Structures are given as structure tokens and as C-alpha cells.
Structure 1
Amino acid sequence: MSVENKKSPPSYYVPAQSPWPILGAIALFFVALGSGLSIMQLNKSDVSGIFLLVLGLAILFIMLFSWFKDVITESSNGLYSKQMDISFKQAMLWFIFSEVMFFFVFFGALFYARNFSVPWLGGASNNVMTQQILWPDFQSFWPLLKTPAGETTQAMGWQGLPLINTLILITSSVSLHFAEKAMQQDNRPRLKGFMAITLLLGICFLFLQANEYIHAYHELGLTLQSGIYGNTFYLLTGFHGLHVTLGLILLFIALLRILKGHFNGQHHFALKAGSWYWHFVDIVWICLFFIVYVV
């Protein structure tokens, strides 16, 4: 996704037919199927779901690296015009906008559950009889720490790992900003250093989030079977963790290209696109931190 052109072709470049889109669709199918089966097989010895999930992720990574390689080769050979540069920017912005809509829907579902479903089930608007039929001993407050089966769990507090992870992501955005400034100044030593710091901070975030999940599952009893609170917690934080992983892949590829001498102060859209995405992921986490953990 670089705009490092040796020449400006007069026409809009149309690439040859590629196997990567269909391969990516197959990979996402295996990821979705494997994820669903893995959740259903949590307490069973069947590992087919995990196998399909790992297979899908492996195919996805191969597809991403191969597709990026093709785009980098085309860009390095001077096949992209200025219109292609504009198209890349528009495509990245539309992609980020689509991700904003994804999180908007998830936050909306959480808002609806907290402000409409829970009060309604608790007897709001004269629905006392409905409450007695559906869940007689239901208590209308958030978070819901008791399931209809009588099992209880604990809420995940905002202190500790969630707060540390928030500071880590904010720091990573700052280090990435300095990396962009170094790129604009063609200061490659500073660029490499700040890019490496950003990647390490992102890896630390995922590592601590995995530890948070282990703590929630084993010590707080917070599982996918613990009701709507547990489901929304893992859905929002897990989906965000997936975006952090994708952001790390984009930045890692950009760092590899930097180490190979790609980019300059004027032409470095691959780095800029990864930076846009990373800052978007950080902003989403700050919103998620306050809405899911604090409020």
C-alpha cells in the first residue's frame, strides 16, 4: 500500500486476477466456524473447532502476507498513478468507517440491554407479572451477576489490568505518532526505534488481556455461560483484541518494509494507513474502557 512510485502511469492500473480474495473468504469461513465450534466444545474433549480455527487463522495470515507482497511489488514497479493513491486512501477510510459501525452496533446492543431489557425484566412499566413468569427472583441492576440457573459471578473492575492496558495503548499511540514524525523527517533510526516500541506495547496489551481472561474465567467465574454481562464483556473486549492483532500485523509489515529501506518522507502511505488504524483501535478501547469497565 505504498505510493512510492518511480513514475506516474497515465492510466488507472487494473491488476491481474488474484486468488487472494477467495482465499481470504475461505479463511474467514474457517475462523467463524472454528470459533463457534470451539465455544460449543469448551467442556468437551472434541478439538475439531480449535483445529478449524487455527487452520483459518493460518490461511488468513498467508493470504494477508501474500496479498501485501503483490501490492508492494506493483507499487515498487511504478504501476500506481496518483488516482491509485487517492483510491488507497479512500479505501482505508471506508474500511475504518465500516469498523466504526461494527463497534457502534455492539455498543448499541450493550446500551439496549442495560437501559431497556434489564429494567423491563425487572418490572418497569408495570411488567411485574412478566418478571414473575420469566425470572421471579430477578433484580434489576447492572451488571447482572446472577444467571437464571442461580449461578453467580463477579464483575471485572476497571483497576489493575484494564487500567494498565489503557495506559499501554495510549502510550503506543504516542510512540507511533513520533514514528510518523521521524518518517516525515527521514530520520530512520528514530523511526525504527519508535516503531519497535509501538509493536512491543501492542504485544504487551494482548498478553495482559489474555491474563485478564484467565483471571476472569478461573477466579471471577466470568464465562460465556454467565449471562448477558459475560457475553457482552467477551464480545466487546475480544472483538477489540482481534482488531489490535490486525493492527499489529499492519505495523509489523510496515516495520519490515522500513528495515528494507522502503518509504521516504513524502511517500509512505502503508505506514500512514497502519497508523490511522492503530489510532482508531486506541480510541475504541478508551470508549470501551469507560463503557464496559467503569460505568
Structure 2
Amino acid sequence: MKLLVFYLSDNGRHFTFPHFVNLLRESNQQNDWKLIVLTHDDNLDFYRNILASTTITYDVFNFNSHQNYLEKVRFAIRYAKQHSFPYMMKCDNDLFYRGRTLDYMMNHLELLENPANLTLGPLLSSGIPCIEYFMNDFLNESDRTILQQKLLETRMEDLWGATYSHLNKYTIEASSWNGKAFFQAVQQNSHHYKGIHPIRVNLDAIKYLNQCIIQNKDEFYKDNDLSIIYDSTSPYLCNSVFCIKTSIYESIVYDSSLYVDPFDEVPLNKYAWKMGMSHLFVKNGYGLHMYYNTVPNNRVYEKEFCDSFFK
């Protein structure tokens, strides 16, 4: 097998997992990847019962519930090494992508052998920087214009100890949306948290985006031609799903000098900056990320999205 897909979960989003699995069932390369579910609160049977009815190769592991994110990630790395998986794919439990998209990524994992490329992932709807590509490819002109107006109405405030108020120049002080200029300004910020975009902090904007996705869900299921987007200019990857070489991921996760908090997002980005590496995305290979935890009651909104999109 080539790819270990590790799914980081808990007992708060059981409503997403059946849909996640149903989408992966269409993969024609199930002999080349394995899914491991890393959860806690002793809910192993929930996942096993769903996966048992599929042809997906899987395993499920339980962890203590206190601050277990890095424990799960490091377990996945050890598992990948012990079972000789050259590539890994991280997946949070608040997103979806098709098995067809996974197969395309499987067929292009060798791109990660190029030292210029760090990650490969689906085009995630509200991901950063993927939101900019997704708006242009998935939304029609009318919906895109409305969403961009909502982005312009976003008041950027300081957050997570970082100063973002200067970004109002590109939102409430601007007359048109310019994602490239916005990201260039983010790049110049010296703070390590550069995963910022109006879609992450503006509830009205992300609710509208998700409304557009629900109303046009046939677009998600279209078998459009897939290709690779090479992104070398965006300042930060804030996508909760990506493929990466196991050896490189291990070197990132175990480098204590890269950390500012108990998560791997900043280390991943610091490594990319240091090595001058790009992130790759699958054009027309859409992924759906519903809401950020910056949205109060985000899981209530996520449940509503799932009930509408997958009915």
C-alpha cells in the first residue's frame, strides 16, 4: 500500500463520518490505501460498524481525551513507518472529498518526490488559500460577486495574539475584492499565524458559501477533468486535509524548534517557508470544509449543512 489516510476524530461529529465513508467508497484504488480512525471516549464500535459494511481496509484506535492531537499524529507516523507507507494523508472530521479525487491524488503522489512540493490535497471550499481557487472554479459569477461583497464587509480584528487590523485596507476600506493583494499583505505580517482570511471570521460569508454549495451540489459530483494547481505564492496553508511524504512529515512533527502551540499547522508552514516548498491542489477535485471553530456553535451549523447537502 502507498498511502495511509489517518482520520482525526472525536465523539462530537459522529454525524459526518457516514458521509465521509460513503464518498470514499467510490475509490477504485482501495488496495493502495488504508484508513485508520484515531478517536477517543471509547467509541470504537461506532466507526467499526460503519466501516464493516465496506471494502475499505481500516483500523480504529482509541486515545485519552485530554490534549491528544499530537499524540494521534505521532501515532499515525509510527504506524506509517512500521507498515511501510511512504505517504500519509491527514484528515480532520469536519470535511468531505470524493473517492475519485483520492484516486487522482494517489496517481500523483510522486509529485511529492520533487523537493519543491510539500503537500497535495483537494480543493477545499473554505480552506486557506483554497477559498480563492474554489470561488473562481465552483461558484458562478453571480454567487461569486455576492460572496466577494461579503468578504469586503468583513472587519478584520486582532486575533490569536496576531495583528490583523491592517488587513481592513483590503476589506472594509476597499471597493473590490483582491485576494492576491490580501494574501501579499498577510505574507508581510511577522506573526507565525498567517492562516487568516475573511471566510474564517465572517459568519455571513461562510454561511453564504455553504448555501451556494448546497444549492449547486451537482457541481461537487461532476466528473470534470482534474489537474494540478501549483501554489507557491500563498503565505500559509490552513487546510485540514493533505497528503505528504511520511519521512518529511516525521521530520516536521518531531522538530521541537518549529512549535508555537500543540498543533502541527505552524510547524508545517515554517518548514515550507524555510525550504521554499509549494502546496499542490487538485483543480475540480473539490473538498468541503464546512465551518471554522471561530464560528460560535459551529457544530450546529455543520449538522445543518450535512442534513441539507446529503439528503
Question: TM-score under structure 1 normalisation?
Answer: 0.29
User: Which has a greater percent of strand?
Assistant: 2
- For the pair shown, the structure with the greater C-alpha radius of gyration is 1
Instruction: Report the structure, 1 or 2, having the larger helix content.
Output: 1
* Normalised TM-score (structure 2): 0.28
Using CA pairs under 8 Å that are at least 6 residues apart, name the structure with larger relative contact order, 1 or 2.
2
